[in-house]
Amino acid sequence: MQQRTAPGGAPAPLAALTSELGVLYGGDWSPEQWDPAVWPEDVALMREAGVNLVTVGVFAWSSMEPEEGRLELGWLDTVLDHLHAGGVAVDLATPTASPPPWLAHRYPTSSAVDRSGVRMAVGSRNHFCPSSPDYRRAARGIAGALVERYGSHPAVRMWHIGNEFGQVCFCDLCADGFRRWLQVRHGSLDALNAAWGTAFWSQRYADWQEIVPPRVAPYIRNPGQSLDHRRFASDLLLGLYREQRDLVRAAAPGVPVTTNLMGFHPHTDDARWAPELDVVSEDHYPDPADPDGHLLQALQDDLARGIGGGRPWVQMEQAAGGVNWRPHNVPKTPARMRLDSLRAVARGSDASLFFQWRQSLAGAEKWHSALLPAAGPDTRLHRAVRAHGAELRRLRPVVGARVPAEVALVFDWSSWWAAQEPAAPSDRLDVLDLLREWYRPLHAANVTADVVPPWADLTPYRLVLAPQLHLVEDADVPGLRAVVERGDVLVLGPWSAALDGHGRLRPGRFPAPFTDLVGGSGEEYVPLAAPVAVEGVLGAHRVGDWAERLRTDGGEALLVARGGDLDGVPLVVTRRHASGGTGVYAGALLPPAATGALVAHAVAAAGVAPAAAGLPAGVEAVRRGPVLFLLNTTGGPVPLDGLGGRRDLLTDAVLGRRQVLEPDGVLALATSDAAGAGPGTAGPLDG
Ligand code: GAL
């Protein structure tokens, strides 16, 4: 994906900052919650911990503008000056995620309304309506004031617009915006009526004013309406982001502008947002109590890198210990905090930033961990924070470096949204579950994958896995087909390509645009009442929930159903082409062992190499530039042979022949080809 230059000016590279500071280390700091006497102590402690960047101002609007139009920024001047004098750079936030109470009090329609018409109250955060002209005027006002005052402040090295955009509002103002968005998308009511299939249930629209957002309704809503509303809601927020970004770019050219995305978050199409950010930033909160926590964080890291076209990204938020928003908040141990932080760096982040620097004493997040706990610096957690700051300084060799990946894992927000619509054959085909299950064997085998949208440039990848591309835009078909046509491997998962870009069924045998490539086709989706035995090249398994009535058309079957109504029906089909390329279609919700066999088959067919081979199970390996990271996710100590003579950048120690990697331990090994070879480094570690 090429980074586009937006009208507000040129994208500013992160490299200008990281080449000076190395890996960015720090997090959100909320000095407005503290007596100013605490600020110098904070800055001194930051320095001691190796913190080199803090995000300031995220939720400080009511401290910056206590009444409409009355700015109080003297305290922020002092804060920025302290930080600058202390050598800590600032990621300055526009505080627009949470307007002060005066806005809602004075302009009630500036607050969002939910599907059932209930207007959000003040007293929490993120209650604004993204369409409200009053909110937008006020947001532009405070953002503009900050930009004017601090645009050339030497401490401010990055800008952070709002926070975790994700509001969805169903008010009348948003309804108007939805109609305008639909007019641009569809051009005419006839086109909209055709796209949404409004002949069904007498839904035909004769006037744009008749259209409303998908509010509470008596029964199943029109899925085309819902899908377009999801897209609209993401675009509406993106417009808000752009407006402030362009203010910053005009006043502070060369300073990177970003906002923190939230991984697989349902309300923003992050793949479409990423090109609008100078650097992709992500908030990651893996649950240390979740056995899949490692896997899920790695997947989200690979998304951050993938949607940014492989560029280094910024881990903007993570927890140092526990969060406060799960029912039972198991804290990270210091070793786990370090492991998660280093995983992000290994997978392409040039930053390890946290929520937050100093634990709040009051408010809704007083039970959330911080780099500096309420108990103070004389704590195990804070000592670990200092130690981590020191070792991050030794990771300069990876700053700016790329993570080679030969595999693309395709994920698309529209497709996810369409697959989530109710009234489908089954609710057991969860897109994120499928993505996770197809990622699992890649992760276990240390095969690095970029998570990318279907419209990304797929030419760098030898293997393209699309676990469930339920909806496929016509415009994306050629790029996907080209994978096989140029000699690479494309694997489509169950229920793929069932819909067109409007969410309408694609008629004909499925997956209609790809049947020739995969050497087979289907005619019926079959939610299963009871498990079905399958066997073939991929082994013998039982398929529990979902199968598809396929047949081979010039291809071969990799798995065939045995017994029952599907007896003899191929469930996974493939075809190898003269180009050398291979297409595969898996028309079943496969159990983990079968998914593992399928992915292994595809990896072998594509000739993709892992980042490192011969490692004990549970040792995660990622190569970034001249460094091979090894992360112990097993929960126990792991003996590693063959590392003799290798240098670990984190400790600057040269390793002996037999190394024991402690639980949650990490090694950052300098590789011999420090210039960074091509993708993959299969072979013995000491080879
Ligand atoms: C994020 C948010 C932070 C803080 C954090 C707590 O979603 O951006 O402001 O609330 O969660 O985990």
The band of 8, judged by pLDDT with boundaries at 50, 70 and 90, is low
**Checking DSSP bridges between strand 520-527 and strand 463-466, what pairing results, if any?**
unpaired
- Same domain assignment for residues 442 and 376: no
Model confidence at 678, pLDDT cuts 50, 70, 90, reads very low
Give the predicted TM-score (pTM) of the model. 0.96
Atom of ligand 1 nearest to the CA of 59: 9
Q: Which pLDDT value is given to residue 517?
A: 98
CB 670 within 8 A of CB 685: no
Helices (H), 221-285: 223-251, 270-273
Peptide bond into 460 cis (omega under 30): no
Place of tokens 């595969």: 584
d(CA 673, CA 675): 5
Does the Cβ of 284 fall within 6 Å of ligand 1? no
Q: Say how far apart CA 283 and CA 323 lie, in whole Å.
A: 13
Structural domain contains residue 238: no
Dist CA 239 CA 8 (whole Å): 12
Considering only CA atoms, which residue is closest to atom 5 of ligand 1? Answer: 355
Say if residues 83 and 26 touch (Cβ distance below 8 Å).
no
Kindly state whether residues 481 and 592 are assigned to the same domain: yes
**The CA-based dihedral angle spanning residues 312, 315, 316, 320, taken in that order and rounded to the nearest 10 degrees:** -160
> What's the pLDDT at 440?
98
- In 3D, which of 494, 435, 503 has the Cα closest to residue 471? 503
**Alpha carbon of 91 to ligand 1 centroid (Å):** 16
Q: Determine the distance separating the centroid of ligand 1 and the alpha carbon of 329, expressed in angstroms.
A: 14
- Same domain flag for 338 and 433: no
Atom of ligand 1 nearest to the CA of 324: 12
Reported as type and span, the H/E element at residue 48 is helix 39-49
Residue-wise pLDDT tens digits, 566-588: 999 999 999 999 999 999 999 99
- pLDDT of the residue at 685: 55
Judge whether residue 675 has pLDDT over 50.
no
CA distances from 446 to 134, 315, 611, 619, 680 (A): 51, 21, 6, 8, 10
Share of the chain above pLDDT 90, in %: 95
Q: How does pLDDT run across 477-534, given as a tens digit for each residue? A: 999 999 999 999 999 999 999 999 999 999 999 999 999 999 999 999 999 999 999 9
Ligand 1: which residue has its CA nearest to atom 3? Answer: 355
Over residues 48-91, the pLDDT tens digits come to 999 999 999 999 999 999 999 999 999 999 999 999 999 999 99
Following DSSP, what letter does each residue of 166-219 receive, concatenated?
-----SHHHHHHHHHHHHHHHSSHHHHHHHHTTTGGG---SSGGG---S---SS
Whether 559 and 638 share a structural domain: no
The answer to whether 159 touches 252, Cβ cutoff 8 Å, is yes
pLDDT at 2: 37
Contact 665, 643 (CB under 8 A): no
Decide: 317 in ligand 1 pocket, CB within 6 A.
yes
Q: Which atom of ligand 1 is nearest to the CA of 285?
A: 12
- Surface-to-core class of residue 478, CB atoms within 10 Å of its CB (0-12 exposed, 13-18 middle, 19+ buried): exposed
- Who's near 288: CB < 8 A, 6+ residues apart? 330, 331, 332, 333, 336
What the block records as the tokens of 472 is 């496929």
Active site residue 535: no
- Token pair of 432 as six digits: 């994120």
Tell me if 648 is assigned to some domain. yes
- Report if residue 184 sits inside a domain: no
The string of pLDDT tens digits covering residues 371-397 is: 999 999 999 999 999 999 999 999 999
Q: Do 142 and 28 reside in the same domain of the chain?
A: yes
Residue 355 Cα to ligand 1 middle (Å): 7
To test the pocket of ligand 1, the residue of 317, 326, 365 to mutate (highest count of ligand atoms within 8 Å of its CB) is 317
**Listed residues 568, 585, 606: the one ending a domain:** 606
Establish if 370 belongs to a structural domain.
yes
**The one-letter amino acid at 574:** T
pLDDT at 392: 98
User: What is the side-by-side strand order in the sheet with 257-258?
Assistant: 257-258, 156-161, 89-94, 53-56, 24-29, 349-354, 313-317, 281-283, 260-261
- How far, in Å, from the CA of 245 to the mean position of ligand 1? 21
Q: Which of 287, 316, 355, 366 to mutate to test the pocket of ligand 1 (most atoms within 8 A of CB)?
A: 355
Alpha helices by DSSP H, 542-661 = 592-606
- Whole-number Å distance, alpha carbon 17 to ligand 1 midpoint, is 24
Same domain? 426 vs 386: no
Pick the atom of ligand 1 nearest to 262's CA: 7
Domain boundary among 559, 578, 606: 606
**One domain, residues 475 and 350:** no
| Angle, helices 39-49/380-392, rounded to nearest 10 degrees | 60
From the list 625, 543, 95, 147, the residue with the least C-alpha distance to 347 is 625
Residues in the chain: 687
Rounded distance, CA 116 to CA 217, Å? Answer: 9
Q: What is the pLDDT of residue 683?
A: 39
The answer to whether the CB of 323 is under 6 A from ligand 1 is: yes
Rounded to the nearest angstrom, the gap between the alpha carbon of residue 548 and the centroid of all alpha carbons in its chain is 30
Q: Indicate whether residue 354 lines ligand 1 (CB < 6 A).
A: no
Query: Which residue minimizes the CA distance to atom 10 of ligand 1?
Result: 365
Nearest CA to ligand 1 atom 12: 323
**Placement of tokens 């008629």 in the chain:** 507
Among 294, 316, 299, 303, which residue's Cα sits nearest to residue 269?
303
Q: Of the residues 32, 65, 276, 317, which is catalytic?
A: 317
Written as one letter, the residue type at 203 is: Q
pLDDT mean over 167-183? 98
648 CA → ligand 1 middle, Å: 33
Q: In this predicted structure, what is the pLDDT of residue 672? A: 65
What is the separation of C-alpha 494 from the centre of its chain, rounded to a whole number of angstroms? 23
Measured between its terminal Cα atoms, the distance across the chain in Å is: 35
Q: CATH number for the domain including 645? A: 2.60.40.1180
* CATH code, 501: 3.40.50.880
Round the average pLDDT of the chain to a whole number and report it: 95
> What are phi and psi for residue 160, nearest 5 degrees?
-125, 110
Residues 578 and 664 in one domain: no
Say how far apart CA 594 and CA 574 lie, in whole Å.
15
- 417 and 382: one domain? no
Over range 651-680, report the average pLDDT.
78
Which one of 164, 282, 391, 437 is the catalytic residue?
Answer: 164
**150 and 73 within one domain:** yes
Residue-level pLDDT at 3? 40
Cα(172)–Cα(467) distance, integer angstroms: 38
pLDDT above 80: residue 4: no
Residue span of the structural domain in which 432 resides: 407-606
At 147, the pLDDT band (50, 70, 90 cuts) reads very high
Nearest CA, atom 4, ligand 1: 355
Domain count for the chain, please give it: 3
The last residue of a domain, from among 398, 418, 452: 398
Q: Kindly give the distance from the C-alpha atom of residue 291 to the centroid of ligand 1, in angstroms, as a whole number.
A: 22
For residues 528 and 542, what is the distance between their CA atoms, to the nearest angstrom? 11
Q: What is the distance in A from the centroid of ligand 1 to the CA of 284?
A: 10
Residue owning tokens 């979902």: 546
Q: How many CB atoms lie within 10 A of CB 188?
A: 10
Q: For residues 448 and 623, what is the distance between their CA atoms, to the nearest angstrom?
A: 8
Residue 1 counted as domain residue: no
How many whole angstroms from 286 Cα to the centroid of ligand 1? 13
Whether residue 243 is contained in a domain is answered as no
Label residue 595 exposed, middle or buried (CB < 10 Å: 0-12, 13-18, 19+). buried
299, amino acid identity: L
355 lines ligand 1 (CB under 6 A): yes
282 lines ligand 1 (CB under 6 A): no
Residue 265 CA: distances (Å) to CA of 234, 359, 403, 413, 450: 11, 26, 24, 9, 18
pLDDT over 90 at 677, yes or no: no
Say if residue 548 is in the same domain as residue 675. Answer: no
Most distant CA pair in the chain, distance? 77
What does DSSP assign to residue 119?
Answer: B
**Average pLDDT rounded to a whole number, residues 456-479:** 98
Of residues 78, 57, 84, 88, the one with CA closest to residue 154: 84
Protein residue with its CA nearest to atom 7 in ligand 1: 164
pLDDT band of residue 629 (cuts 50, 70, 90) is very high
Asked whether 8 and 246 are in contact (CB, 8 A), the reply is yes
Q: Nearest C-alpha to atom 11 of ligand 1 is from which residue?
A: 355
With a 6 Å cutoff on the Cβ, whether 164 touches ligand 1 is yes
In a domain, 259, yes or no: yes
What integer is the mean pLDDT of 119-141?
98
> Residue 325 CA: which ligand 1 atom is closest?
12
Looking at residue 372, which CATH number applies to its domain? 3.20.20.80
User: Does residue 285 line the site of ligand 1, with CB under 6 A?
Assistant: yes
The answer to whether residues 633 and 587 belong to one domain is no
Query: Domain for residue 180, yes or no?
Result: no
